Structure 1
Amino acid sequence: MDTIEQFKSFEIPLEHDQDPRIDRVHIGLVQLSTDHSLEMDWAKLYGNQATAFSSRVYYSSEMTPKALDAIAKGIVDASDLIANGLPMDVMAFGCTSASIIIGEERIGELLNTNREGLPTTNPWSAAKAAFKYLNARRIAVFSPYPTEVNFPLYQQLNDAGYDVVTLGSLGIKNDTEITKISKQSMLDALEKILPDSGAEVVFMSCTNLRVLDHIQEIEDRFGIPVVCSNSAMFWHAMHLAGKKAKCPGYGALLNQ
């Protein structure tokens, strides 16, 4: 066969039916180019209840308000690249500190620019929703960030009506270093800030922080619910989709 016309006489036309979309929550996720932890954490939580379709936005890795605010420039294009033609149930943006600096409302608008009408979440909005769900007003904060990022975090929690009873900071200035924080360092830090604090929940901030696997151990050791950025955002995304996250072994928030 030397021509396409000859090939057409050889080719056998077939018919097909189409199945509906797979029956699980579809989350469109925009994460940072520097994030090493979020995908691995969420992969442990999905089961058959959800899946995420993600793209990434450039981030310089500098933990400064200016660098975090610059992330906003890439969110619309990144969200537009997510699984074209596949309907999402929720759109999510995976950076706690950038959500604080850029602003939750603006993050939602950017995610919805090309995904109009979908509910949106981010770790900062999700964490506050989780505090409300857990009926916690007195918050202990474990932060890997420098002071310039911790101060707006503290201010926004206060403005939302929460009492930050203690805040411990590692002062790390590069996002890719956060993922290297050891379990023992986290436990030592919590041992320093939690006793006698009167906290009703501890927030362990940053999607790059590898704490998800240790949440249950921390809760058992200190007798306090633990909310981390990745657990909160998955829980909140499921909630916005009208579902309950069911992830036994990952703390009170996800063990419903």
Structure 2
Amino acid sequence: MTSESNLAANTLADPPGPQVWQDIGVVCPFDMALDHELWRWMPEGVNLIFTRTPYYDQAVGLGMAEEISDHGEIQDAVRSMASIRPAVVTYACTSGSFVHGVAGARNLSTAMLAAGAPIAVTTSEGLLLALDALGVTRVAVATPYLAELTDRLTLFLGQGGKSVVSHEGLGLDRDIWKVPYSVTCDLIRQADRTDAEAVFVSCTNLPTYDLIVHMERELGKPVITANQVTAWSALRLIGRGAVGSEQALLQTVRS
């Protein structure tokens, strides 16, 4: 057998691929520390492309929320992903998208569309979509925020046609991603009321994935979180379902 024959006999078939992915562009604030959490909701074949807005040297509060909602900076972040051509772009920040009310959240999405996003959504818009999908009008709110931000969130929800029956906050202005699950679970318990149809846990920088089902079983109602609605709404807009075993939002939408 010639060397050419030996080579042909030993040649393996080339691997198929690369896989075709659907890309989700994620614009998030400079202090976002939980990229890994959003990945946990992603189904096979979906890729996340993260980019961040500029750094601001200040504590988490109303002033910072207003700074990070700057249209020009968010548009620059969207343009930085233009060559990748994401299928949808989400602004992954709760306070930055609710700080100027429902109109402000919609204006942010409009600004992202103007910068080249084919489809756009913000975390706070995703929250209203999720509450509507669950048929929820009365909600309890749990946040890690200072009171000024928690109050602004309740105003946003009111503008969105939702009644906030109670709200509790941790009063934090930094290091939110370091909050233990046990603290967040207690916060949810404190926020919950009998007449609340669901509990919303705010802030995309607060870890929540592993506590959702745990608290839903304990309270007997949906517990939805900022990162969950961010992932769910972006996926929904491209016709995909989020991964999250037994999470009420995901199960309700599938049924």
| 2:136 match: secondary structure | coil
- Show the counterpart of 1:226: 223
- Show the counterpart of 2:51: 55
For each residue in 1:49-69, what CA deviation from the matched residue of structure 2 results, as whole angstroms up to 9, or x when unmatched? 421111111242522322222
- Show the counterpart of 1:190: 188
- Show the counterpart of 1:10: none
Question: Structure 2: which 5+ residue stretches go unaligned?
Answer: 1-15
Q: In structure 2, how many angstroms separate the alpha carbons of the residues matched to 1:49 and 1:178? A: 30
Q: Indicate conservation of the 8 Å contact 1:179/1:210, yes or no.
A: yes
In structure 1, which of residues 97, 104, 107 is the aligned counterpart of residue 95 of structure 2?
97
Identity fraction in percent: 25
- Show the counterpart of 1:124: 124
| 1:254 match: secondary structure | helix
Q: In structure 2, how many angstroms separate the alpha carbons of the residues matched to 1:156 and 1:166? A: 14
CA RMSD between the two structures: 2.0
Deviates further, 52-61 or 134-143: 52-61
- Show the counterpart of 1:180: 178
- Show the counterpart of 2:205: 208
Q: Indicate conservation of the 8 Å contact 1:215/1:250, yes or no.
A: no
Q: In structure 1, how many angstroms separate the alpha carbons of the residues matched to 2:40 and 2:134? A: 22
Q: In structure 1, how many angstroms separate the alpha carbons of the residues matched to 2:205 and 2:96? A: 13
Q: In structure 1, how many angstroms separate the alpha carbons of the residues matched to 2:201 and 2:45? A: 25
- Show the counterpart of 1:76: 75
Give the counterpart letter for 1:75 in structure 2. Answer: I
1:199 deviates by 0.8
Give the counterpart letter for 2:222 in structure 1. Answer: P
Give the counterpart letter for 2:116 in structure 1. Answer: R
For each residue in 1:188-217, what CA deviation from the matched residue of structure 2 results, as whole angstroms up to 9, or x when unmatched? 2222232x4311111000000101121111
Q: Indicate conservation of the 8 Å contact 2:144/2:169, yes or no.
A: yes
- Show the counterpart of 1:6: none
1:27 corresponds to 2:24: yes
1:92 deviates by 0.6
1:250 deviates by 5.8
| 1:253 match: secondary structure | helix
Q: In structure 1, how many angstroms separate the alpha carbons of the residues matched to 2:191 and 2:226? A: 19
Q: Indicate conservation of the 8 Å contact 2:43/2:241, yes or no.
A: no
| 1:197 match: secondary structure | coil
